[in-house]
């Protein structure tokens, strides 16, 4: 799922998607330990989807508070 699609979702839909993804990731981890996965890349995809959802939820939280997200400063190279 793309970030654009996630941003179009309501908060309730994001929460449901988050919970489903957490459960799916748990099942994938259990299967990975007990047997061979058909597509090991599914673990990475699920983790990245969770990260996208968390990022969007945080952006909305900051927007509701009237703050702008801080950007990390890059260290200067010598």
Task: Give tens-digit pLDDT for 29-47.
Answer: 999 999 988 899 999 999 9
On whether residue 74 sits in a domain, the answer given is no
Q: Name every residue whose Cβ is closer than 8 Å to that of residue 12 and which is 6 or more positions away in sequence.
A: none
pLDDT 10s digits, 15-34: 999 999 999 999 999 999 99
Q: What is the pLDDT of residue 25?
A: 96
Instruction: Evaluate whether residue 76 is within a structural domain.
Output: no
What is the residue range of 26's domain? 9-64
CATH of the domain at 15: 1.10.287
Task: Quote the number of domains for the chain.
Answer: 1
Q: pTM of the predicted model, to two decimals?
A: 0.78
Asked if residue 48 has pLDDT above 90, the reply is: yes
Q: Is 49 exposed, middle or buried (0-12, 13-18, 19+ CB in 10 A)?
A: buried
- The answer as to whether 49 is a domain residue is yes
């Amino acid at each position: 799922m793309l970030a654009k699609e996630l941003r179009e979702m309501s908060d309730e839909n994001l929460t449901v998607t988050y919970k489903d993804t957490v459960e799916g990731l748990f099942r994938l981890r259990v299967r990975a330990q007990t047997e061979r996965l058909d597509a090991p890349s599914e673990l990475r995809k699920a983790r990245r989807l969770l990260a996208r959802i968390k990022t969007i939820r945080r952006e909305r939280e900051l927007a509701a508070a009237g703050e702008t997200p801080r950007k990390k400063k890059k260290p200067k190279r010598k």
